[in-house]
Structure 1
Amino acid sequence: MELVLVRHAEPVRVEGGDRPADPHLTRQGREQAQRLAAWLADETVDHLVTSPLVRARETGAPVAEAIGLAPEVVEGVAEWDAGSHEYIPVEELRRLQDERWFAMIEGRWEDNGGVDPVAYRNQVVDAIERVIARFPAGRVVVVCHGGAINAYLGHVVGIERPLWFEPAYASISRVAASRTGVRSIVSVNETAHLRSNAAPR
């Protein structure tokens, strides 16, 4: 089967709240989600999964409409910092060389309201493997988060660093999953569908 991992589209920045941050998409993020949906509409998709977080569900909504499938919400592919009271886009933290950026890439996730990186990877891998087991043939799209995509692809290729690459918003990464348990990365960080001149295939 083919596993299609999609990072959510661009969300708004959230700070200073008294509850876990769960941002909506920006206007640009909604446009990204529409372009993603138009691209995937030309593929045969057998099942659609989303994280429970708003940014993933809003990214998955136009995809669901385009392919005619109701999304299944899977808790195990939520982001590692789902309990944090702030959401600052990772590219901003990196640009500012913020201490929170270094905590993220070094795996000190508890400093940012997150969980243990090893436990998180195990959670994500277990959740995705359960989906694969239910759909051993065909194509499954999973709309989730940068951390979840890093966790699963890192598991496939044996990279232990919790965050080893930065998936673009609404990007696509594909994994071929055989019935024998072999997992092979087909593509990482596809973004052709996000170009202004991209057309459905």
Structure 2
Amino acid sequence: MTTVIFLRHGLTESTGRLLTGRMPGVHLDSRGLAQAADLAKRLAGIRLSAIVSSPLERCRETVQPIADQTGLPIEIEPGVIECGYGDWTGRDLRHLTKDPLWRILQTHPSSVVFPGAEGESLRAVQYRAVDAVRAWNARLGAKAAWLCCTHADVIRLVLADALGMHLDEFQRLIIDPCSVSIVRYTTTRPFVLRVNDTGGDLASLIEPAARRRSRGSTRPRATP
């Protein structure tokens, strides 16, 4: 079983105001930096196999305290980059809600392709993100627990796949800044352990020693 901890990046000055998409130079603000520091403390009890991040600055900055804490490098994965919003990139969300495409995005997102040469379909985003996650699962192995820092829509689309949920229902999932969602992938199907978690203990979700002993294992835990 491979356990993936999906993390949305922390707050930026434009969060909830602009659709920044893949715009360069979007950094965590003071709130986001504080969120990232707090998250590193929450993850301190988990032995991570890898830290994987979207290429965008706000994701890399979110996992930097965790990389500093663990000594692991930040692995950049283009497959979990933000959706290509095309001509919508950088626009004010208040104005976008008046665009006819916005209503379709909320009710029938599987049909949406964002406008412009750089516009991507949500079907394509889900396919590339799920494919990237499963490739990392295969690379790291069945006993790994690894962190994937990415974006709200990407996480919602991956969770929809894990839940067996049609893409048209993915808008029902809420993913807050610096929230954690956890999926355990087995040989038969994924199991969603946590969605949009913003507080509390996480170490208990990653195969604790007590649970292994309760299943009859007497093998001592390896020393780090």
State the TM bucket, normalised to the shorter chain. 0.7 to 0.9
Contact 1:33 1:59 in 2 (8 A): yes
CA RMSD of aligned residues (A): 3.0
Deviations 1:103-127 (A, max 9, x none): 5434335148641111111010101
SS in 1 for 2:182: strand
- Decide which moves more: 111-120 or 141-150: 111-120
Indicate the residue corresponding to 2:46 in structure 1: 43
CA-CA distance at 1:73 after TM superposition: 0.2
Indicate the residue corresponding to 1:183 in structure 2: 190
Indicate the residue corresponding to 2:128 in structure 1: 123
Query: Is the alpha carbon distance of 1:58 and 1:167 closer, same or farther for their aligned partners in structure 2, counting shifts above 3 Å?
Result: same
**TM-score, structure 2 as length reference:** 0.74
Query: Is the alpha carbon distance of 1:114 and 1:35 closer, same or farther for their aligned partners in structure 2, counting shifts above 3 Å?
Result: farther
The letter for the 1-side match of 2:173 is F
Matches within 5 A, 1:58-73: 58-73=61-76
Unaligned runs of 5+ in 1: none
Query: Is the alpha carbon distance of 1:192 and 1:120 closer, same or farther for their aligned partners in structure 2, counting shifts above 3 Å?
Result: same
SS in 2 for 1:80: coil
Query: Is the alpha carbon distance of 1:119 and 1:34 closer, same or farther for their aligned partners in structure 2, counting shifts above 3 Å?
Result: same
Aligned residues with identical type, % of pairs: 26
Matches within 5 A, 1:109-148: 109-111=113-115, 114-136=119-141, 137-148=143-154
CA-CA distance at 1:133 after TM superposition: 0.6
The letter for the 1-side match of 2:125 is Y
Deviations 1:80-120 (A, max 9, x none): 136564165xxx659x9554754543433514864111111
Contact 1:103 1:111 in 2 (8 A): no
- 1:11 is aligned to 2:12: yes
**TM-score, structure 1 as length reference:** 0.81
Unaligned runs of 5+ in 2: 205-224
Indicate the residue corresponding to 1:2 in structure 2: 3
Within 2, Cα distance between the matches of 1:70 and 1:12?
27
Query: What is the number of residues matched between the two proteins?
Result: 189
Within 1, Cα distance between the matches of 2:43 and 2:85?
27
- Decide which moves more: 54-63 or 112-121: 112-121
Query: Is the alpha carbon distance of 1:148 and 1:138 closer, same or farther for their aligned partners in structure 2, counting shifts above 3 Å?
Result: same
SS in 2 for 1:192: coil
Match of 1:34 among 18, 33, 37: 37
- 1:86 is aligned to 2:93: no
Within 2, Cα distance between the matches of 1:32 and 1:186?
22
Indicate the residue corresponding to 1:167 in structure 2: 175
